[in-house]
Amino acid sequence: LAEVLGKPLSPGSTIGILGGGQLGRMLAQAAAQLGLKCHIFCPEKTSPAFEVAASKTAASYNDQDALKAFADSVDAITYEFENIPSETAEFLQKLKPMNPGPKALQMTQDRIIEKRFLRDLAIPVPAFAPVDTLDDLQKALIEIGTPAVLKTRRMGYDGKGQAVIREDTSPEEAFLKIGKKAAILEAFVPFEREVSIIMTTDMQGESWVYAPSENSHENGILSKSHAPAHIHEDTEVEAIEIAGAIAEALNYVGTLAVEFFVTRDQQLLVNEIAPRVHNSGHWTLDACVTSQFENHIRAIAGWPLGSTRHHSAAEMTNLIGPDHDRWLELAADPEVNLHLYGKKEARPGRKMGHMTRLTSLAIPGPSANDT
Amino acid sequence: LAEVLGKPLSPGSTIGILGGGQLGRMLAQAAAQLGLKCHIFCPEKTSPAFEVAASKTAASYNDQDALKAFADSVDAITYEFENIPSETAEFLQKLKPMNPGPKALQMTQDRIIEKRFLRDLAIPVPAFAPVDTLDDLQKALIEIGTPAVLKTRRMGYDGKGQAVIREDTSPEEAFLKIGKKAAILEAFVPFEREVSIIMTTDMQGESWVYAPSENSHENGILSKSHAPAHIHEDTEVEAIEIAGAIAEALNYVGTLAVEFFVTRDQQLLVNEIAPRVHNSGHWTLDACVTSQFENHIRAIAGWPLGSTRHHSAAEMTNLIGPDHDRWLELAADPEVNLHLYGKKEARPGRKMGHMTRLTSLAIPGPSANDT
């Protein structure tokens, strides 16, 4: 049941979405365009996605009665983030088709499991070692060297639960900084650029890929993406092949994001997999025939996918915390596509919105980035 | 108060929308992108716009308690159709800023008043005469000749309340067909094409215009629009000037549609004004930097407008009645942008959705169609 849906969901059907943040909000808006309703399940009482969805449940992910009622009210289930408690996922997967499926969650919730999964597929990743104790960390540092990055195995996002360890950093302090949690030590990769591949796979296993985006981070949070990325065609082809191999190994249905480091000699190393729509794919809303959100909804509803062709090049900038105060100034630039998430409090580090600026393609006409 | 708003509405503010059909739905989705909430007021209990809005009221347009509560809950008011009862509009205009303002409604609810308004502005319109009785109709037919079109003065849309009168048509039957209502007889214009201008005007009186679209109708209902229209540059300039003169005379704020006949010798005649977003502007959702819906919301919220530049050419096709049954076949064409309105019953003549196909522009780069 978990991954299989007999036939495409008809317009008027209801998609259940776990998580009510901006990704859930943009998924719900994409579903509405296709005549599909959404039911958002989220613990927070005032969730951005609630305002644009036909139904909502504000309840804990452990509330089995609420989960049961949610599953009864929907035709298919998806999620906006991979850190759903595994009991919640297992409970729901028994009741309604949920995509991406169980393997996608198992392989991406824990950084060690994710890295081993990639290594088993012969996909290059930075050197890594598991760290459960300070003693483990000391040994791992001898093996991997500095600089390195210590990250919690689970629940990290936007640079949370991470500590960079340099030659003069005290391992004790780094381990304390991440809360002495089960962790992974990863070699710091001296990369030339960070790129990501956003790809959507339908229920027949057919994948459509977007042009790679090139990403820059500030304080561990994505700051800007521009697409298409400035990478060699061979590098692009290799990145797409890796994303395809990951999707295949996960029996993936939906939109998948794979973040890469590109080294100076054009080697690709996978940094992270996200089994969901991704911030580095927000540019697709304004620059592509079909956005990553719409294609995710199409995939999990059993529909054929739309073209990932971009009609324009794009630069996406996140609006983080107090950036939101500049909304009127940004709205005054007619070439800016402004997206605000309806969040009340502009706390530091909080993603409040994003903006995309389109530019003409160097070479007009359809691009050749579809697989 | 009616047309004036002190300063731009902040994100998190609420827009009240009268009418819950597909236009209200697409307006609500555009508002959500900007971090604005919507409250939909509509008599029908299951309205397409309800599913995508933060709040909704299902009540009659005569229910003053409901209207008062609605006005209290919103920061600005707009509407998706011009046939709001005038008492409703007057009642609400006293309570909250409502745009487009009173003059736009007064001049467009009645076809005779609209034609006289245009004639007073020296804007060419087809020959016309008011018809209140069969005797009026007989006299008007002598003055105007056949073929001619008899239309109810008020409440007509999608070809409803219209009768074509040819040489051999019985005037009695035509008058009976439109319910013997107060009417207008219009000369039938032998046009080469029908085009429309969609333009948005902000609170400072600045207007941005979209590329003209070329429209074809079937059974009185818009069937297809493609943009840019195949018209001479001089004709385009003249159409834009006419739309600008209309907006100025109406103290207009928001998105305005003006439908034109273009005769074989490139004369322009105004067919109809719609003080709202318009079906012939749906292509802007997929082909322009900023859609007609987003610009309408920006205008009535006191925001600056976004660029009306089109990055692609577009062909929009309405999905009417049973066309909706073909949703899966249409979804299987990756280059089709499918928009379904979430309506349950696909009655004949009912607009169920639309689809847009983008094509590359003949000449790449920004177009010069902004005023």
Q: Which residues of chain A have pLDDT under 50?
A: 1-3, 364-371
With CB atoms and an 8 Å threshold, state whether B342 touches A35: yes
| pTM of the predicted protein model | 0.94
Q: Tell me the residue type at A265.
A: D
Residue A298 is inside which H or E element, if any?
A: helix A292-300
Packed helices A86-93 and A64-73: angle between N→C axes, nearest 10 degrees: 40
Tokens of B119: 């004639």
* Of B221, B224, B216, B285, residue with least CA distance to B255: B285
Question: Per-residue confidence at B3, pLDDT binned at 50, 70, 90?
Answer: very low
**Interface subset of A 235-264, CB within 8 angstroms of B:** none
CB-based burial label for A345 (10 Å; 0-12, 13-18, 19+)? exposed
Q: What's residue B258's pLDDT?
A: 98
With CB atoms and an 8 Å threshold, state whether A331 touches B11: no
Q: What's residue B364's pLDDT?
A: 43
Tokens of B265: 């010798």
Residues 6 or more apart whose Cβ sits within 8 Å of residue B101: B2, B3, B93, B250, B251, B252, B253
Say yes or no: B335 contacts chain A, CB-CB below 8 A. Answer: yes
pLDDT tens-digit readout, B204-260: 999 999 999 999 999 889 999 999 999 999 999 999 999 999 999 999 999 999 999
Q: Which of B289, B356, B357, B359 to mutate to test the interface with A (most CBs of A within 10 A)?
A: B289
> In a 3-state reduction of DSSP, which class is residue A213?
strand
- Check if the beta carbon of residue B220 is closer than 8 Å to that of residue B287: no
- Check if the beta carbon of residue A126 is closer than 8 Å to that of residue A113: no
**Mean pLDDT, range B180-197, rounded to an integer:** 95
Q: What is the ipTM of this complex?
A: 0.93
Q: What are the helix (H) ranges across chain B?
A: 22-33, 64-73, 86-93, 102-108, 111-120, 134-144, 171-177, 233-249, 284-287, 292-300, 327-331
- Check if the beta carbon of residue A210 is closer than 8 Å to that of residue A368: no
pLDDT tens-digit readout, B29-84: 999 999 999 999 999 999 999 999 999 999 999 999 999 999 999 999 999 999 89
With CB atoms and an 8 Å threshold, state whether B29 touches A25: no
Q: What's residue A360's pLDDT?
A: 87
Chain A residues within an 8 Å CB radius of B282: none
**Mean pLDDT, range B160-185, rounded to an integer:** 92
Tokens of B12: 């998190």
Say which DSSP state B161 is in: T
Give the nearest partner residue to A358 out of B289, B328, B360, using CB atoms. Answer: B289
**Interface subset of B 39-68, CB within 8 angstroms of A:** 50-54
- Angle at B24 (CA atoms; ends B318, B340), nearest 5 degrees: 35
Q: Give B308 to chain A, closest Cα distance, Å.
A: 8
Q: What's residue B5's pLDDT?
A: 57
pLDDT tens-digit readout, B276-318: 999 999 999 999 999 999 999 999 999 999 999 999 999 999 9
Give the nearest partner residue to B303 out of A28, A331, A366, using CB atoms. Answer: A331
Residue in chain A closest to B360 (alpha carbons) equals: A365
Chain B residues within an 8 Å CB radius of A358: 289, 311
With CB atoms and an 8 Å threshold, state whether B340 touches A364: no
| Model confidence at B322: pLDDT above 60 | yes
Tokens of B242: 């006419």
Backbone angles phi, psi at A354, to 5 degrees: -150, 165
Start-to-end CA distance of chain B, whole Å, equals 28
Q: Which of B51, B336, B359 to mutate to test the interface with A (most CBs of A within 10 A)?
A: B51
With CB atoms and an 8 Å threshold, state whether A29 touches B52: yes
Q: What's residue A370's pLDDT?
A: 42
- Check if the beta carbon of residue B355 is closer than 8 Å to that of residue B339: yes
Say if strands B351-359 and B336-340 run parallel, antiparallel, or are unpaired: antiparallel
**Interface subset of B 339-358, CB within 8 angstroms of A:** 339-342, 344, 353, 358
Q: What's residue B366's pLDDT?
A: 46
Cβ atoms within 10 A of the Cβ of A8, count? 18
Give the nearest partner residue to B35 out of A286, A290, A340, using CB atoms. Answer: A340
Tokens of B193: 């094409």
Give the nearest partner residue to B37 out of A51, A53, A341, using CB atoms. Answer: A51
pLDDT tens-digit readout, B122-168: 999 999 999 999 999 999 999 999 999 999 999 877 778 899 999 99
Q: What does the alpha-carbon distance between residue A6 and residue A2 come to, in Å, rounded to a whole number?
A: 11
Q: What's residue A156's pLDDT?
A: 74
With CB atoms and an 8 Å threshold, state whether B340 touches A208: no
